[in-house]
Amino acid sequence: MERDTRPAVVVGAGPAGLCAAIELKRAGAPVLLMDENAKPGGQLFKQIHKFFGSQEHRAGVRGIEIGKDLLRESLDLGIDVRLDTEVVGLDPNLKVWAVEGRRRSYTLDASRVILATGATENAVPFPGWTLPGVMTAGCAQTLINVHRVLPGKRILMVGSGNVGVIVAYQLIQAGAEVAAVIEAAPALGGYGVHTAKVRRAGVPMLVRTTIVRAEGNEGVERAVISEVDGKFKPLAGTERTLDVDTICLAVGLTPSIELASLAGCRTFFVPELGGHMPLHDEFMRSSVPAVYVVGDIAGVEEASTAMEEGRLAGIHAAFSMGYLDSGEMERRTADTRRRLRALRQGVFGAKRFTAKERILAEKEKECP
């Protein structure tokens, strides 16, 4: 088979994109890795907690260390990493439009495109939500763990999923006081290990509770919270006021699918994985055959699953470009798929596994 010498372009140098680029380069395929940020790593360098999974998933290792290892590997392999480079356009013929340093614009023809664009944090509007001091949990996490700046002294965390409880704990580690973690659902959402750490730190964890409004003049001075009924409506007479200067929102993420939509990838609605996302098959191919989607854009999960998805797409793209034979592709992806399956087990993992199976089935039905 003749080898395609046009580059594979990987968009997004987070865990998924880095792994995709690494697999392509290891197979000898030409690859460009682009990221709009000044530094690669995506959100990995904010993850100062230890990861889960088994030994081979690097369980017990902090995200920040995994990030350093991936960067070292990509440097050793000599991957062409283009930072400060925003991909602003992509057409179904795989013409990629990039803007470098917010100044220089260029296009290039890719042989394959792997979209690893991640996800965007959700907002939840309530009276006072535009006040200075209301921010996403990720915003606070970036400030404390990357820039070493505390955005507030006394914090209310809205949402008890993994992001909410992990960031609540990291805010405490950075020197803040967390007044409470509130959760509208009847049960807490995060992994027990993370939740237990926050609870042990003495933080009240309030379920069936929502934020009613934020109060203050030039910034947040108070948060009014209330209990909710079974339909998430505030219950009269249960309002309480917390003196806080910061309200962090950890209310889920939505896949960042703009480029996939531009390329014409068909999307599918999967609420438990964050909303609308491109359909994909077991090799992470979207409905546009030469466009792959990996990591949070293909359903919001975790860095560990994102890395395996990136590897799957990278290996398959290298095969389809003629740099790996089918036996080698099968062998390399079999390991990856086995690890991926192992990551989607247990109470939380099984739900994600079922949702992913639905995406594959829909892809098979819609574009066999």
Partner 1 sequence: MKPGPELPAVNRVTRHAVLGDLEPLREVTIWFEDRAVKAREGEPILSALIASGVGILRYTKNGSPRRMFCGIGRCTDCVMSVDGVPGVRTCVTAVRDGMRVERQEGVGRWAGEDGRDGA
Residue 175 touches partner 1, criterion: CB under 8 A: yes
Q: How open is the CA angle 260-283-17, to the nearest 5 degrees?
A: 55
Residue 173 touches partner 1, criterion: CB under 8 A: yes
Q: Tokens 């055959």 — which residue? A: 289
State how far the Cα of 253 lies from the Cα of 43, in Å rounded to an integer: 13
- In the complex with partner 1, the residue whose CB is nearer, 36 or 227, is 36
Residue 218 touches partner 1, criterion: CB under 8 A: yes
Figure out which of the listed residues 71, 174, 178, 324 binds partner 1, where binding follows CB under 8 A: 174
Residue 121 touches partner 1, criterion: CB under 8 A: yes
Residue 120 touches partner 1, criterion: CB under 8 A: yes
Figure out which of the listed residues 70, 134, 179, 307 binds partner 1, where binding follows CB under 8 A: 134
138 with 43: CB under 8 angstroms? yes
Residue 143 touches partner 1, criterion: CB under 8 A: yes
Structure token digits, residue 215: 């109060």
- In the complex with partner 1, the residue whose CB is nearer, 22 or 178, is 178
263 with 87: CB under 8 angstroms? no
Structure token digits, residue 327: 């036996």
Residue 267 touches partner 1, criterion: CB under 8 A: no
Residue 140 touches partner 1, criterion: CB under 8 A: yes
AA identity, residue 261: S
In the sheet with 177-182, reading across from the earlier edge strand, the strands are: 134-136, 246-249, 154-158, 177-182, 205-206
- In the complex with partner 1, the residue whose CB is nearer, 173 or 238, is 173
> x/- string (CB under 8 A) for partner 1, residues 73-112?
----------------------------------------
Figure out which of the listed residues 11, 90, 135, 244 binds partner 1, where binding follows CB under 8 A: 135
Give Cα separations from 249 to 62, 83, 164, 253, 297 (angstroms). Answer: 23, 29, 8, 11, 20
What count of other Cβ atoms lies within 10 Å of the Cβ of residue 289?
11
- In the complex with partner 1, the residue whose CB is nearer, 27 or 34, is 34
Residue 149 touches partner 1, criterion: CB under 8 A: yes
Q: Which stretch binds partner 1 (CB under 8 A): 19-27, 171-179, 230-238, 301-309?
A: 171-179
* Total residues interacting with partner 1, rule: CB under 8 A: 32
Question: Of 36, 9, 41, 37, nearest to 99 (Cα)?
Answer: 36
Figure out which of the listed residues 15, 30, 138, 275 binds partner 1, where binding follows CB under 8 A: 138
Minimum separation from the CB atom of position 194 to partner 1 (A): 14
Minimum separation from the CB atom of position 140 to partner 1 (A): 8
Q: Which stretch binds partner 1 (CB under 8 A): 19-27, 36-44, 72-80, 228-236?
A: 36-44
Residue 131 touches partner 1, criterion: CB under 8 A: yes
Figure out which of the listed residues 2, 38, 230, 271 binds partner 1, where binding follows CB under 8 A: 38
- In the complex with partner 1, the residue whose CB is nearer, 28 or 219, is 219
State how far the Cα of 137 lies from the Cα of 120, in Å rounded to an integer: 12
343 with 57: CB under 8 angstroms? yes
State how far the Cα of 270 lies from the Cα of 273, in Å rounded to an integer: 6
312 with 294: CB under 8 angstroms? yes
Minimum separation from the CB atom of position 139 to partner 1 (A): 3
Minimum separation from the CB atom of position 367 to partner 1 (A): 30
Residue 145 touches partner 1, criterion: CB under 8 A: yes
Non-local CB neighbours of 211 within 8 Å, separated by 6+ positions: 124, 126, 156, 158, 182, 223, 224, 225, 247
Non-local CB neighbours of 323 within 8 Å, separated by 6+ positions: 3, 24, 27, 28, 29
Q: Which residues bind partner 1 (CB under 8 A)?
A: 36-38, 48, 62, 120-121, 123, 130-136, 138-140, 142-145, 147-151, 173-175, 218-219
